């Protein structure tokens, strides 16, 4: 074998966060942070070493194939995600990196190929004591693993190829119902109009090609998981008060996932009938569990980042998530998926409520006689500035006349 052949065989296939791509060329840059100290009138120069520069990886590459659009979109999706990811570099090995920027170029002469220019920088590690930041980071790292595990389990169960057409028809109906649940959930919340319009178009585009999507496990899992994890883009930029329903007090950033989580929560595979009938049932359960589990993981991320008004609110949300994760752990899942979801549960317990947050304590007070809100809150806390919160928390229409009953208030 020639030297060139040996060299080529040693190159590893390039990928980022598990999404493969081809590499044409790369540039690597690093070095030392050197500060030169020069004194006027002095011939002596001192160069001070201030430590290592960050490693930068600039790569030119491409994706190619008959399904180039899907391959392109998969890579774009991973490059746009927040946080560090694993880069498998053909020449330099595995690197933990963050994406600085990238661009994509396509032309008529490129055929089935989309060209990428990507700039990565080493992720490094935060230079401060272990804190809630570490727990949150660990959660999101584990959340990515959880979604990958859920996808893998789905792809192992879902079968369409070489089966009668009615199997695909039934899968299409199930997927359409799941998309309907997502659509209804989005309609019930306040959102950024521009982002909502983009999401609705994306949802409609998926419905328009629903049979094509349901025909492939890869396509179905990529499209639906991307749709669900992208729901928070519609509301994440809202001010805190804008995302909270004044009447119910519910936070849209959390409740938007409720109906998705209920999807097929108690479904089991019907093992009666022909093999094709059983596969129909397996596909239906698999689609609903895929959507449900991804919604649970996404809800976990939103819940960890939320600023809770009281300890009770944080504890209630934590218990909701623990119960949901327990329901996944009670399913028939493989050992790897079990461990990942068990880890997620541990991170949720540690991160909610945030130990560094100064949460208020909500208490109940019983008003026996008739009082006004100012008097009631002063008796409890000695702080009349909490009256407006008291009125809002209990949805009091007439603050000057409180009927005898139990009320909720913040006790500082």
pLDDT at 334 over 90: no
Which tokens sit at 195? 């982002």
Q: What's the pLDDT at 79?
A: 94
Q: What's the pLDDT at 354?
A: 57
- Residue at token pair 């296939």: 13
- 58 within 8 A of 121, measured Cβ to Cβ: no
Top-confidence residue, 116 or 398: 116
Q: What's the pLDDT at 246?
A: 41
Which tokens sit at 139? 């959660």
Q: What's the pLDDT at 75?
A: 94
- 315 within 8 A of 357, measured Cβ to Cβ: no
What is the rounded average pLDDT of the residues 126-134?
A: 54
Q: Give the pLDDT band (50/70/90) at residue 183.
A: confident
Q: Give the pLDDT band (50/70/90) at residue 121.
A: very high
Top-confidence residue, 353 or 54: 54
Top-confidence residue, 364 or 122: 122
Q: Estimate the crossing angle of helix 132-157 against helix 217-229, to 10 degrees.
A: 150
- Residue at token pair 């991160």: 351
The DSSP symbol for 286 reads: H
pLDDT at 244 over 50: no
| Least confident among 95-104, 108-117, 162-171 | 108-117
pLDDT at 257 over 90: no
Residues in the chain: 412
Distance CA 9, CA 46 (A): 46
109-115 long-range CB contacts below 8 Å, 24 or more apart? 112/64, 112/65, 112/66, 112/68, 113/62, 113/63, 113/64, 113/68, 114/62, 114/63, 114/64, 114/68, 114/71, 114/72, 115/60, 115/61, 115/62
**Domain positions in the chain:** 3-122, 132-351, 361-411
Q: Around 327, how many Cα atoms within 13 Å sit in the side-chain half-sphere?
A: 17
Instruction: Mark 31-66 as b/e (b = at least 16 C-beta within 10 Å).
Output: eeeeeeeeeeeeeeeeeeeeeeeebbbebebbbbee
Helix (H) or strand (E) holding 348: helix 335-351
Q: What's the pLDDT at 62?
A: 93
pLDDT at 108 over 50: yes
pLDDT at 325 over 80: yes
**3-122 CATH fold:** Elongation Factor Tu (Ef-tu); domain 3 (2.40.30)
Q: What pLDDT digit, counting tens, does each position of 288-316 carry?
A: 999 999 999 988 888 887 777 777 778 88
Q: Please state, for a pLDDT cut of 90, what percent of the chain lies above it.
A: 32
Q: What pLDDT digit, counting tens, does each position of 60-96 carry?
A: 999 998 888 999 999 999 999 988 899 988 888 888 9
Which tokens sit at 68? 């180039």
pLDDT at 267 over 50: yes
pLDDT at 237 over 70: no
pTM: 0.58
What is the rounded average pLDDT of the residues 365-381?
A: 70
Q: What's the pLDDT at 159?
A: 94
Top-confidence residue, 265 or 30: 30
pLDDT at 357 over 50: no
Give the strands of the sheet with 56-64, arranged side by side.
Answer: 19-20, 15-16, 85-89, 93-105, 113-122, 56-64, 22-29
Top-confidence residue, 385 or 210: 210
What is the rounded average pLDDT of the residues 377-404?
A: 73
| Cα distances (Å, whole numbers) of residue 140 to 144, 222, 297, 298 | 6, 19, 9, 10
Mean of the per-residue pLDDT values of the chain: 81
Which of 218-227, 247-256, 390-399 holds the top average pLDDT? 218-227
| Cα distances (Å, whole numbers) of residue 117 to 24, 82, 100, 102, 208 | 10, 18, 11, 5, 32
pLDDT at 356 over 90: no
Closest listed residue to residue 367, CA positions, set 358, 355, 352, 379: 379
Q: Give the pLDDT band (50/70/90) at residue 265.
A: confident
Q: What's the pLDDT at 380?
A: 65
Q: What pLDDT digit, counting tens, does each position of 131-158 carry?
A: 566 777 888 888 899 999 999 999 999 9
């Amino acid at each position: 074998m020639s030297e060139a052949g040996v060299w080529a065989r040693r190159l590893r296939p390039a990928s980022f966060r598990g999404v493969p791509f081809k590499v044409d060329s790369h540039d690597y840059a690093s070095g030392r942070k050197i500060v030169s100290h020069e004194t006027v009138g002095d011939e002596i120069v001192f160069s001070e070493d201030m430590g290592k520069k960050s490693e930068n990886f600039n790569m030119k590459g491409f994706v190619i194939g008959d399904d180039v659009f899907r391959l392109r979109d998969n890579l774009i999706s991973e490059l746009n995600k927040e946080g560090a990811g694993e880069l498998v570099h053909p020449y330099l090995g595995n690197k933990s990196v963050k994406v600085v920027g990238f661009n994509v170029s396509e032309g008529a002469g490129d055929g089935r190929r989309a060209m990428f220019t990507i700039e990565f920088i080493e992720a490094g590690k935060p230079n401060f004591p272990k804190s809630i930041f570490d727990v949150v980071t660990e959660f999101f790292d584990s959340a990515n693993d959880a979604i990958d595990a859920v996808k893998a389990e789905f792809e192992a169960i879902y079968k369409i190829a070489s089966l009668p057409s009615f199997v695909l028809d039934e899968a299409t109906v199930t997927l359409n119902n799941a998309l309907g649940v997502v659509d209804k959930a989005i309609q019930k919340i306040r959102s950024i109009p521009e982002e909502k319009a983009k999401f609705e178009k994306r949802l409609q585009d998926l419905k328009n090609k629903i049979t094509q999507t349901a025909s492939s496990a890869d396509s179905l899992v990529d499209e639906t998981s991307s749709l669900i994890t992208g729901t928070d883009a519609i509301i994440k930029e809202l001010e805190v008060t804008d995302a909270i329903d004044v009447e119910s007090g519910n936070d849209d950033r959390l409740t938007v996932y409720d109906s998705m989580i209920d999807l097929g929560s108690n479904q089991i595979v019907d093992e009666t009938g022909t093999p094709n009938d059983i596969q129909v049932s397996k596909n239906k359960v698999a689609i609903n569990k895929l959507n449900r589990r991804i919604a649970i993981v996404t809800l976990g991320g939103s819940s960890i980042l939320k600023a809770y008004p009281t300890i009770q609110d944080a504890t209630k949300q934590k218990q909701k998530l623990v119960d949901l994760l327990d329901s996944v752990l009670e399913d028939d899942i493989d050992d790897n998926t079990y461990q990942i979801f068990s880890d997620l549960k541990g991170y949720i317990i540690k991160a909610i409520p945030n130990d560094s947050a100064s949460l208020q304590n909500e208490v109940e007070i019983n008003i026996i006689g008739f009082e006004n809100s100012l008097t009631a809150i002063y008796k409890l806390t000695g702080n009349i500035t909490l009256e407006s919160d008291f009125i809002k928390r209990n949805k009091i229409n007439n603050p000057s006349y409180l009927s005898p009953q139990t009320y909720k208030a913040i006790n500082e």
